[in-house]
Structure 1
Amino acid sequence: MDDNKYDGVKDVKWKQVNNGESKIKFISSRKKSNIKKIIKLISFILLAVISGGISGAYTANKKQSNTTYTPNNQTLMETKKDNKNVISNSNSQVENPVTKVAESVGPTVVGISNKADGYFGIQDTGTGSGIIIDSRGYIVTNYHVIENADRVTVKLSSGKILDASISGTDEKSDLAVIKVNAQNLPKAQLGDSSKIKIGDIAVAIGNPLGENFSGSVTAGIISALNRKIEYNGSVYKVIQTDAAINPGNSGGPLCNTNGQVIGINSFKFGSGQNTEGIGFAISINEVKSIIKQLMNGGEVAKPYLGIYGEGVTSGDNKLSGIYIQEVLKDSGAFKAGIKPTDILLELDGKKVIRLSDVSEIVNFHKIGDKIKCKILRNGNTIELEAVLYEMPEDK
C-alpha cells in the first residue's frame, strides 16, 4: 500500500454502505473543523439569547415589585431622586388652584368676636371674619359683625387672640375697619373685580358657625356679576357665587385663583331667604375708596343728589323715568332747580327708571362733581346741571 496516498487523513470513520458490504470512507479533517466552528457559533448565539431573556425577565420583575399602584387607575411616573427609582403620582405634579389660594390667603383671614356687657359680664354676641389688609394690623370686615360691640377680639390664623380697636365704620356700605396692635402681619392682596368672568373659580375663606370652624375654605364659581343689592338705602354691585357663604363667613374674602381678594363676603345680603348655592360678596372695586377712608379714621363721605320718587311710564310706553315726589333742601337737586312733580328721564347721560339707578350712577362720582340731569316738566324737556354734595349723616 502506498503510504503517501493517505497523507493528511488522521481520522477514519466506519459507515455501512452497498448492501451491507463494509468499506472504508475517509472524512476530511478540514470539513469537520468547519462544522465544529458552526456548531460553536450557533451554541453561543443560543446562549446569548437565553441569557438576555433571563436578564430582561429579572429586571422587569424587579421593577414591578418596586412599583406602588394607587386606586382609580392613576397614572404613575418614575423620577430619579438620590440615584434611586422613586414612583410618584403624576396628578400631584399639578397643584390644585384652591390649595394654592388657601395657602396664600388663609394666613391673612382672621376670626372676629363681638363682645358686649351682659348680666354675667362680657359675653360673645356674634362672630365673623376679617381680612388683614395692612401689615400694621388693619383689618376689614362687615359693619354688622362688630355692630354695638363693647369689645372686639381678633383671632389670628396662628391661634393668637388680640384685642382690637375700631378705626372706622360705615353702616350704609356694611363695612368696618378695625386694628390690632401688631406688626409685620401677612396681608391680603386686593384684586380687580372688573376682570372676573362668569364661570371663573371662586374661593371663600372664613369662620362659618364660629371659631370652631375657623379657616374653612369653600370653592365654587362666579355665578353672576353686578347684581344690584339695596342695603340701608344704598345700592351695591355684588358678586354672586355658589361657594358656600354661611353665618360667620361675613367679612371674609372671596378670592380668584391668583389669591387676590375680589370681594368681601356678606351673609347679610342673602339672609332671610331659604336658598342654597347663592352667596354674595361686595365687589372689592366698590369699596376700595371706602376702606381707605375708614383706615384713616374718618367718616365715609358719600355724594348724593337729594331726590325721592318712584318709577313711572307714559301710557304709550314711549317715555319712562322717575316721578319726583320730594327734593331735599340744600341738596344738589334743590340748588339746580329740580322740583317735585318733575320727571327725571336721564342722569349723567344714562336713562333712569328707578331710584336704585340714581344711586348707582351717583356712587360712581365724588363729592363736588357736576352731573347733568334731563327732566320732563309740563310736557317740556329741560336739561339742568347739579353739583353733588356730601350726604348728611341722617340720610
Structure 2
Amino acid sequence: MGNKNNYKAHEEIRDAMWKNAESGNDIFGEIIFRKNNKKNYFKSFLKVVSFILIASISGGVTAQYAINKEKSTKDISGGLSPSALVKNRGIADNPILAVSQKVSPTIVGISNKEKGIWDTPEESGSGIIYKSDGFIITNYHVVEGATEIKVKLSNDYVLKAKVVGSDAISDLAVIKVEASNLPVAKFGDSSKLKVGDLAIAIGNPLGDQFSGSTTAGIISALDRKINILNEKTGEQTIYKVIQTDAAINPGNSGGALCNSYGEVIGINSFKINSVIGSEGTGFAIGTNEAKEIINDLITYGKVIRTAIGIYGGTAISVGADGVEGVYVQDVARGSGAAVAGIMPTDIIIEIGGKNVKNMEQLSNVLGKYKVGAKLSCKIWRGGKVKEISIILSELKAQ
C-alpha cells in the first residue's frame, strides 16, 4: 500500500514537471535538443569532398598555366628553358670545344708513303670517315700516285687502305679500310652558310706530331671560283669553294671544315690554298658540291660527267652585233661535237635552250643532263647562226 502511494506521488510530480514545462515555467531551465549525429557527419563529409574538388580544380588550372608558360619559354629560346640555358651555358660559351670533341674522332691521318709515314706534311694528309664500314673521304692530291696508303685512326690504330675512286677535277678521292662501327662525321648543308659564320678546321696540319689539330675562324666568302691549271694537260679546272680565315696547312688537306653545330660543311684543300698563296686565306670544297661526286666515286669508282667534246672553250665576243659565246679551238674525234659537225673556230652561243657566254656556263648546262642526252645547239659561223643537235658523251679523264 505504501509502495502504491509512493508511485502515485512520483507520477503526479512528473506530470506536474512536464505541465510546468509546457506552460513555460522554468523549473529545469531551457530545454535544448541536440541535432541528429548522422546528419551532422554527412554534412561534414560533403564539406570535405567539396574542398578537395575545389583544390583539385585549382591545382589543375595552375599546373596547366605553368606548362603553357614553360612551353612558351622553350619556343622562344630554341627548345631550352631558362634553367637549361644556364645549365648549357658552358657549351654555348665555347662551341669550338664542343665541335672539336664531337668531330675529332671522325678525322684520320693518311700516309701515302711506305716509309717515314706522317713525319712530314708532304707525306701525310687528313681524311673524314664517311661511313662506319670504312669509307673515308680525302683529297685526290693526298693519294695521287701512292704505292701504299695507311690510315691512322684517332685512337692511333693504323690500318691499310685502298683507293675506291678518285677525281682529279674536283680534287676528291674515296679510300676504304677494313673496319666496322667507326665513328661517322655528320655532313651539313653548305648552302645555308653565311659570311661571318663560325668555321672550325680539324685535321693533321703538319704531320703526325700535330694530328687532330683544331683551328677556328669565320666563313670569309662563299661561292669563290678558283682556276687551277693542270701543267701536264694544260686543262683549267674551276673550283667552286668556301673561303675561310681558319688556318689550313698542308696536312689539313682532306680534313673537315665544320660549322658551330659540329657538321662538316667543307672538305679542306691546301692545294687550292697554295695557288693563292695568301696569309689568312683558306679554301674548302663545299659539301653540297662534294656529295654527288663522293657517291659517284663509291658507286662507280669515278665521276661520270657529260661533255660535247671540244677543247679551248675561251669566252669571246665577235661581230658588229657583239655575239658572245664559247670559242672552239679544237674538237675531239668521235665526240658528240664532231658527229654534229662542230668545227674549230665555231662559237657556241646557245645549248639546251640556254645562252652560254663562257665555259663555266656551258659546263653548268651539261651537268644537268646524262650521257646520251640529245640537246639543241646554236653556233655562230661565218657571220651566221646555225642550229644543230648534239648527243652528249662522257667526259674522259685527262
TM-score when scaled to structure 1?
0.70
**2: CA distance, partners of 1:136 / 1:93:** 31
Match of 1:114 among 112, 115, 119: 112
**2: CA distance, partners of 1:128 / 1:386:** 42
Aligned pairs for 1:144-159 (under 5 A) are 144-159=141-156
Q: Is 1:100 the equivalent of 2:91? A: no
Q: What's the counterpart of residue 20 of structure 2? A: none
Deviation string 1:144-187 (CA, Å, 9 cap, x unpaired) is: 11122221111111122222122222223222111112110010
Same amino acid, percent of matched pairs? 52
SS at match of 2:250: coil
CA RMSD of aligned residues (A): 2.8
Q: Using the TM superposition, give the Cα deviation of residue 306 of structure 1 relative to its aligned residue in structure 2, in angstroms.
A: 1.1
Instruction: Name the CA shift for 1:90/1:101 in 2 (closer, same or farther; >3 Å).
Output: closer
Q: Is 1:236 the equivalent of 2:239? A: yes
Q: Is 1:180 the equivalent of 2:177? A: yes
SS at match of 1:139: strand
SS at match of 2:138: strand
Q: Is 1:355 the equivalent of 2:359? A: yes
Instruction: Name the CA shift for 1:158/1:339 in 2 (closer, same or farther; >3 Å).
Output: same
Report the structure, 1 or 2, having the larger helix content: 2
Match of 1:373 among 372, 377, 385: 377
- Retained in 2: the 8 A contact 1:370–1:387? yes
Deviation string 1:41-60 (CA, Å, 9 cap, x unpaired) is: xxxxxxxxxxxxxxxxxxxx
SS at match of 2:223: strand
Deviation string 1:217-273 (CA, Å, 9 cap, x unpaired) is: 112222222222234433231111111111100001112222222211110012144
Match of 1:133 among 130, 135, 138: 130
Structure 2 gaps, min length 5: 1-82
Instruction: Name the CA shift for 1:89/1:266 in 2 (closer, same or farther; >3 Å).
Output: same
Equivalent position amino acid for 2:94 in 1: N
SS at match of 1:224: strand
Q: Using the TM superposition, give the Cα deviation of residue 132 of structure 1 relative to its aligned residue in structure 2, in angstroms.
A: 0.1
Equivalent position amino acid for 1:169 in 2: S
TM-score when scaled to structure 2?
0.70
Report the structure, 1 or 2, having the larger strand content: 1
Structure 1 gaps, min length 5: 1-79, 81-87
Deviation string 1:110-155 (CA, Å, 9 cap, x unpaired) is: 111111479xx99976100000000001101011111222211111
Q: Using the TM superposition, give the Cα deviation of residue 316 of structure 1 relative to its aligned residue in structure 2, in angstroms.
A: 5.2
Q: What's the counterpart of residue 337 of structure 1? A: 341
Equivalent position amino acid for 2:199 in 1: A
Q: Using the TM superposition, give the Cα deviation of residue 331 of structure 1 relative to its aligned residue in structure 2, in angstroms.
A: 1.5
Equivalent position amino acid for 1:235 in 2: I
